[in-house]
Amino acid sequence: MPPPTEADLDRLLQAARAARGHAYAPYSRFAVGAALLDEHGRVHAGCNVENAAYPQSLCAEAVALGVLVAGGGTRVRAAVVVGVAAQPVTPCGGCRQKLREFAADDCLVWSADDRGWRARHTLGALLPAGFGPDHLARDTSGTGAGTPVGTAAGTAAAAPAAPASGTLR
What are residue 49's DSSP bridge partners? Answer: 24, 58
Looking at residue 20, its pLDDT comes to: 98
CA–CA distance, 165 with 18 (Å, rounded to integer): 51
Q: Would 140 be classed as within a structural domain? A: no
CA-to-CA distance for 39 and 76, rounded, in angstroms? 6
Residue ranges in the chain whose pLDDT is less than 50: 147-169
Give residue 138's pLDDT.
77
Residue 167 resides in a domain: no
Does residue 52 fall inside a structural domain?
yes
**Is 61 a catalytic site residue?**
yes
Confidence at residue 129, expressed as pLDDT on a 0 to 100 scale = 94
Determine the pLDDT at residue 2.
86
Q: How far apart are CA 160 and CA 169, in angstroms?
A: 13
Contact at 8 Å (CB) between 37 and 68?
A: no
What's the whole-model pTM score? 0.82
Active-site residue identified among 6, 39, 50, 61: 61
**Residue 144 belongs to some domain of the structure:** no
CATH number for the domain spanning 29: value is: 3.40.140.10
Domain count, the chain: 1
